[in-house]
Amino acid sequence: MSMLDRKLRRDLLRMKGQAAAIALVVACAVAAYVGSTTTYRALRSSNEEYYDRFAFADVFAELRRAPATLASRIAEIPGSGTVETRIVADGPMNIPDFAEPATAHLVSIPPGGPRLNRLVLLSGRMPEPGSDEALAGETLLKLHHLHLGDAVSVILEGARRTLRIVGTATSPEFIFEIRPGDLLPDDAHFAVFWAPEADLAAAMRMEGAFNNVVLRLAPGADRQNVLDNLDRLLEPYGCLGAYGRDRHVSHRFISDEIRQLQGVAVFMPAVFLGVAAFLLNVAFSRLVGTQREQIAAIKALGYGNAAVGLHFLQLAGVIVLLGTLVGTLAGAWFGSVMTKMYALFYHLPLFRYELDPSAVAAAVLLSLLTAFAGVAGAVRRAVRLPPAEAMRPPAPPRYRATLLERLGLGRLLGPVGRMILRSLGRRPVRALLTAVGVAAAMAILVLGAFLDDSISWMMDLQFRRAQLEDATVTFVEPRDPAVVVELRGLPGVSRVEPFRAVPVVLRAGHRTWRIGILGLPASPALHRISDRGGNLVDIPAAGLMLTDKLADLLHVHPGDDLGVDVLEGTRPRKTVRLAAVVRDLIGLSAYMELDALNRLAGHGPAVSGAFLSVDQASEKELHRRLKDAPMVAGVLLQRVAVASFEATNAQYLLFFTGILVLFAAVISVGVVYNSARVTLAERERELASLRVLGFTRGEVSAVLLGELAVLVVLALPLGCLFGVGFSALIARNLSSDLFRVPLVVENSTFAFAALVVLGASLLTALAVRRRIDRLDLVEVLKTKE
């Protein structure tokens, strides 16, 4: 080993604490990068492969009823590839030992099995036609403790049918088992079944007919063209408009998730690498400073500038590579855990985790680049250092009165205070960056907790403050408003608010959107509409109200007229003025006043369902009654759905918060420790001299730790600011058509973040304090000068 390498190794050992702190921060960056990138890639490629191998359709259409012969005409549409016609039905479901009403979503299995949205048989066997057999999703069995061979009953076309579960399955169509139109998966009350076509046809009186089409586009096909053609062909058969994957609810959930992961994969590592670069910068500036004479001597002895530069770059490289190694291992672990979590969450049958070598290579490259960016200044100084310096003793550091002192504040401070102030004033940039580093740690914590805050706030606003209903009842078909009286008579029901939902296509120029317009009383008492700020919004007496996302999609503004094609009854085509836009948080919605909507839809007053206020004690009894009512298509229990969402969410948040706390602690410890060690090294003599002059250990520590305390305290408000900034960025990244993530950070979040940072700083300060206590006075003062 060359002597310079030997020096490198010993220097590294000497600065092992600092090196470890820096390596850890790099490790966090790499772990975050490798973990999220590999998860992102695993998720994306598994998803694509799944879609591909199991032939996920490109186009979807639901209709009322069309003759089977129409299938060949669909196949003739230019650009259409494989076409499959199916029978799909929803019906109220009775699950053994489960009081609450639930919905079964049944999809037909053509003879020979589906060619599109193919099934992954997870357990059991395929159902035999003519024997009430069906496949179910795995979640249903797990949640309700059902086993293969157990049965549920479903009401189809007014008749109770038994479904005997002979196997479990999944398909690319139902990665998320979510009721169309719902915002949250509600696994306890919604389940997908696959049943033989013949059975479903018989139950639905659909022999020789179909009510659902899926198709795959031929390579290079113009999707919009196929959609238009399909709409034209299917319209007479009650098609509500064909749509592509972009409006497929399961696909949208998945692609949002993937997009968000990609954001995380970029954002978190960037913060860490920034901090690592700063730490390296401070540590190496200091190192080159202390080794000034050594560097000059090495040059005087005949080593070139390149050798000296390389020497320091190598040192930085070793530290960073150590961090990268640890980070890659941690990232691989993190990635495989996340992947497992996603696999569970999405029931993805093809989930393979791979430690992608290109991700590792990118991480190595990125962290080396960061390292070199961090030490570039110090290395340049080392390279430029004139060797003649070796002959000269170093000049004493230059101090001056700081601005604060010149303003006369100095008199308020004792000598210790003034030393702290001047030391900070001597390296203002480093002081500022140290504070920024600690602030970054805090910001990461704020960021982590912000998600929880925002989602809680959003859920609270939407489901506890705005929407006061306990249950939502949906009828199979629009009914006479008199039904309200009937509902009011049900046990425990204290309030009934009827609503009308009319499926329409909204048209604005060439833009169209298929949606159900929700008709509500002008000032709803239960299902109230709230804007992003939590203010309740009235439904305009005339005209349409859209959520801002939908208005943006259609490029319309209040005052504009929209074409409305009603997709039920006599199917009138009308024009409606956009009366208002509500800036809300969740989903894409269209609202009208109930009577206005009834006039629009034509055929007299009708209700599609009702929101209920229910006394909790009578809930069980109500469920039982509603379950047996054939007119009821479904019942959504708000409280249960929200609770199950929050429970799932809490589990993930716990994991991520844990990781973020670890990250933040690493950053604060890294920054504070590094700063303390560097300051200690620079001022060892000064501090030792103070001891010799009779200062106590505590007083001497105060000089050094006071400086750190000032910086950490300075960092707290800065950290809040950064945290809000980061959160705003992430909120934008997470916002989708389904959710607008509001920027809500609770005070408790700031407090929590500040506590973690202060705690980590305090522990570090104690470690440094021990070093100060052990300062060897004689040894320090003996060193040259």
Partner 1 sequence: MRLWSAGNDDDARPAPGTPVFVARDLTKVYRMGEVEVHALRGMDLELFAGEFVVLLGPSGSGKSTLLNILGGLDVPSGGTVRYREHDLVGANERLLTKYRREHVGFVFQFYNLIPSLTARENIALVTEISRHPMAPEEALALVDLADRMDHFPSQLSGGQQQRVAIARAVAKRPDVLLCDEPTGALDITSGKVVLGVLARVNRELGTTTAVITHNAAIAAMADRVVTIADGRISKVLRNEHKASPEDLAW
Residues that bind partner 1 (CB under 8 A): 2-4, 6-7, 10-11, 14, 293-294, 296-305, 386-388, 390-393, 784
**Spatial separation of the C-alpha atoms in residues 590 and 579, rounded to whole Å:** 11
**Spatial separation of the C-alpha atoms in residues 274 and 429, rounded to whole Å:** 15
Residue 153 backbone dihedrals phi, psi, to 5 degrees: -115, 145
Work out how close the CB of 780 gets to partner 1 at its nearest, in angstroms, rounded to a whole number: 12
For tokens 């159902």, the residue is 127
Work out how close the CB of 303 gets to partner 1 at its nearest, in angstroms, rounded to a whole number: 7
Shorter beta-carbon distance to partner 1: residue 389 or 538: 389
In this structure, the number of other CB atoms found within 10 A of the CB of residue 302 comes to 8
Shorter beta-carbon distance to partner 1: residue 158 or 302: 302
Shorter beta-carbon distance to partner 1: residue 293 or 646: 293
Burial class (CB in 10 A: 0-12, 13-18, 19+), 242: buried
Shorter beta-carbon distance to partner 1: residue 477 or 785: 785
Q: Are 550 and 737 in contact (CB under 8 A)?
A: no
Work out how close the CB of 346 gets to partner 1 at its nearest, in angstroms, rounded to a whole number: 54
Shorter beta-carbon distance to partner 1: residue 303 or 345: 303
**Spatial separation of the C-alpha atoms in residues 59 and 62, rounded to whole Å:** 10
Work out how close the CB of 761 gets to partner 1 at its nearest, in angstroms, rounded to a whole number: 30
**Spatial separation of the C-alpha atoms in residues 371 and 320, rounded to whole Å:** 7
Residues 6 or more apart from 374 whose CB is under 8 A from it?
276, 277, 278, 279, 280, 281, 284, 316
**Spatial separation of the C-alpha atoms in residues 584 and 549, rounded to whole Å:** 8
Work out how close the CB of 388 gets to partner 1 at its nearest, in angstroms, rounded to a whole number: 4
Shorter beta-carbon distance to partner 1: residue 389 or 460: 389
**Spatial separation of the C-alpha atoms in residues 69 and 660, rounded to whole Å:** 58
Q: What angle do CA 780, 782, 785 make, to 5 degrees?
A: 100
Provide the H-helix boundaries in 179-248.
197-204, 223-234
Q: 94: helix, coil or strand?
A: strand
Shorter beta-carbon distance to partner 1: residue 75 or 300: 300
Q: Are 120 and 171 in contact (CB under 8 A)?
A: yes
Work out how close the CB of 778 gets to partner 1 at its nearest, in angstroms, rounded to a whole number: 13
Q: 559: helix, coil or strand?
A: coil
Work out how close the CB of 14 gets to partner 1 at its nearest, in angstroms, rounded to a whole number: 7
Shorter beta-carbon distance to partner 1: residue 678 or 703: 678
Angle between helices 305-346 and 357-384 (to 10 degrees): 150
Which among 433, 311, 277 has a CA at the least distance from the CA of 12? 311
Taking CA atoms, 296 is separated from 157, 300, 308, 529, 671, in Å, by 92, 6, 10, 73, 29
Work out how close the CB of 350 gets to partner 1 at its nearest, in angstroms, rounded to a whole number: 54
End-to-end CA distance of the chain: give it in Å, rounded.
Answer: 32
Q: 603: helix, coil or strand?
A: coil
Shorter beta-carbon distance to partner 1: residue 386 or 415: 386
Shorter beta-carbon distance to partner 1: residue 3 or 647: 3
Element (H, E) at 138: helix 138-144
**DSSP strand pairing (151-156 vs 88-94):** antiparallel
At 730, the amino acid letter reads I
Work out how close the CB of 396 gets to partner 1 at its nearest, in angstroms, rounded to a whole number: 15
Angle between helices 16-53 and 305-346 (to 10 degrees): 40
Taking CA atoms, 9 is separated from 5, 26, 237, 276, 705, in Å, by 6, 20, 79, 21, 30
Element (H, E) at 669: helix 638-692
Work out how close the CB of 17 gets to partner 1 at its nearest, in angstroms, rounded to a whole number: 16
Shorter beta-carbon distance to partner 1: residue 9 or 465: 9
Work out how close the CB of 371 gets to partner 1 at its nearest, in angstroms, rounded to a whole number: 21
For tokens 């009578």, the residue is 618
Work out how close the CB of 307 gets to partner 1 at its nearest, in angstroms, rounded to a whole number: 9
Task: Tokens for 147, please give them.
Answer: 């086993």
Q: Which residues are registered as beta bridge partners of 311?
A: none
Q: What angle do CA 246, 252, 258 make, to 5 degrees?
A: 120
Shorter beta-carbon distance to partner 1: residue 140 or 308: 308
Work out how close the CB of 784 gets to partner 1 at its nearest, in angstroms, rounded to a whole number: 6
Work out how close the CB of 10 gets to partner 1 at its nearest, in angstroms, rounded to a whole number: 4
Shorter beta-carbon distance to partner 1: residue 10 or 573: 10
Cα-to-chain-centroid distance, residue 148: 35
Shorter beta-carbon distance to partner 1: residue 391 or 654: 391
Work out how close the CB of 683 gets to partner 1 at its nearest, in angstroms, rounded to a whole number: 19
Work out how close the CB of 457 gets to partner 1 at its nearest, in angstroms, rounded to a whole number: 56
Shorter beta-carbon distance to partner 1: residue 147 or 784: 784
Q: Are 331 and 32 in contact (CB under 8 A)?
A: yes
Burial class (CB in 10 A: 0-12, 13-18, 19+), 220: exposed
Shorter beta-carbon distance to partner 1: residue 284 or 726: 284
